[in-house]
Structure 1
């Protein structure tokens, strides 16, 4: 064993908290010998892509960018729906295509390159276009970006399942999230030190930086040692997923859960409008940094709390998170109408953004845990595929409605989101307890 390999094995053993760095579960014997190397390749690549996601978040940076280029508010309402539904809706088709190939690593590389090129395209938009044309171009490139993201999502699950042992996968994802969160905090603090207006240069640097991160991730993905896997069943899986849509008609609890989840889309869709309101008071780079910092802190502060609470009752997590989201959306609506000194304070909207993001994190943890606890085995898999497809479609519909309302009044669209969250509370209340069953 060469010295560098020995050091890698020791570091992996330390991270994995085991004496035998080759200990493996649920992967082949040959893949086991490559675990330490693959672990760090995936760790660093996921860190790069997670950081890139944070630097191009539709809730913060892209919303700021759309406002800066003079795009209409109605187009801003489409950012989150396109980003999320573009990753969810095509997964049935993408998954069937990917699983027809024995090696999935090339799709990781392709997905990362697609995302990088989309961001380079956004740089050109910032430099050359403005107004409606710039907004439409950014949305078009975001569609392409989301398709690449969906490709990465499907392929990564397969690659990680073949290369990383059980009981190490969560540790890998968590460590990557922590590293990217720390790096994002550094970027946020850099922006906080800027008292100047957030001009073209800042957006170009953020987009170029994120694009280079995805190119770097593509390079790391290409180095992963992957064994050929199964190639059968892709088409059958797709047909079965469409057939499973009958669950919405026949399974009352599942149907009720999907309605609850759909109503609570409001917690994600409302956040970009807080940035629009904040920019009415200031458009400095420091304020953009404050929002990025708020986003990072919301993730770091809330995940463990919501996770612990969800282990007690995922239904009550949904109840609490929905109630908080409704209150914070209503507060934002009130702030949009009143000219109080509090609402003009530099930190008011970043703080409200952080609180709403914490509520949204509760919605995400609660609905994921509820779905896991509601069923097991193949039925759980069916629930996931159907709910993701339906929610992807509903995201586009909700995006259309909120865009129309936002073009009329920001106050009205925030009241709409508050009302959706309040209805979400009522539907979550009617869900039965499944965590303790």
Structure 2
């Protein structure tokens, strides 16, 4: 992407844009495979309690790196002698360097030996037919899929909290940056809290805390709307908590319930069936247009708290 930006963006911008679709698509496909492989390696290397602590530590450092990366990007675009397309190319090249360093780190990981399955002649479509069987035979996995999709309702509201604030408080654009800064601070600081909880509790309990907090936040948005735009900033601080909590809790919990010989299948099915993350923002905009913000906030709280009840009844 850095090369295409530097080489073609000025004289052939359409080619550059088309290439971006291709490279991002390729990156997304690669990330899908890499995510499954990464989680499988973690499942092999670490026991349950250590996995959750690792995810908390990883999220803490990645949050700091993301914050630092934002400052770096701002600095690069602020340099007057670094004009387009060089400024964008430099940013993309820095991303390339980061991924190379990460790849070296993965190469150095010594993956433990595992049983090699005998190859079968079954087709991809035959495998797809087995997916409902996995869900039918494993109650814990089925509940996990249901709960994670229900928990996605909290993600559905993220773009609408700022829209609600703009309409309710009639604020200017400066508040948007302030709210996002509170969210970043919440994301970073929450990892310390999640890391402490990971030492004391299981990944399932962390997921449950995250879901309950996600159910409280929409109600809190209604309450804080009566106290002005500055107090409303607290909402985004807590949003940072649930964003980190989802990344720290859900995947380690899935690794806990997935059989070791079926871990990759469970991870793949989970990734494919977690479709509400994509669909719910569209659904949220429709519900808000029809019934308003308050109704939607209350609806999401009910769904989230219902997910918490389902998770609590799971005896795994």
1:395 aligns with 2:281: no
**Structure 2: stretches of 5+ with no match in the other structure:** 14-19, 40-44, 47-53, 75-82, 108-118
Q: Partner of 1:345: helix, strand, or coil? A: coil
The superposition leaves residues 285-326 of structure 1 with CA deviations (integer Å, 9 ceiling, x where unpaired) of 432221231222122111232244245222222222222211
Cα distance, 1:219–1:315 mapped onto 2, change above 3 Å = closer
TM-score (norm 1): 0.50
**Structure 1: stretches of 5+ with no match in the other structure:** 1-108, 125-141, 189-204, 228-232
2:302 to 416, 419, 437: 419
Q: Partner of 1:315: helix, strand, or coil? A: helix
Q: Counterparts in 2 of 1:61-100, with a 5 A limit?
A: none
2:31 to 137, 143, 153: 153
1:255 to 118, 136, 142: 142
Q: Which residue of 2 aligns with 1:295?
A: 183
Separation of aligned partners in 1, 2:309 and 2:36:
38
Q: CA deviation at 1:267?
A: 2.1
TM-score (norm 2): 0.66
Separation of aligned partners in 1, 2:264 and 2:189:
30
Q: Which residue of 2 aligns with 1:179?
A: 65
2:193 to 302, 305, 308: 305
CA contact (8 A) 2:206 2:245 kept: yes
CA contact (8 A) 1:314 1:370 kept: yes
Over the aligned positions, Cα root-mean-square deviation in angstroms equals 4.4
Equivalenced residues, count? 265
Separation of aligned partners in 1, 2:152 and 2:21:
19
Separation of aligned partners in 2, 1:173 and 1:359:
12
Q: Which residue of 1 aligns with 2:289?
A: 407
Using CA pairs below 8 Å that are at least 6 residues apart, which structure has the higher relative contact order?
2
Q: Which residue of 2 aligns with 1:432?
A: 315
Separation of aligned partners in 1, 2:258 and 2:149:
19
Q: Partner of 1:256: helix, strand, or coil? A: helix
Q: CA deviation at 1:349?
A: 2.9
2:254 to 362, 368, 371: 371
Q: CA deviation at 1:278?
A: 2.0
2:266 to 383, 397, 406: 383
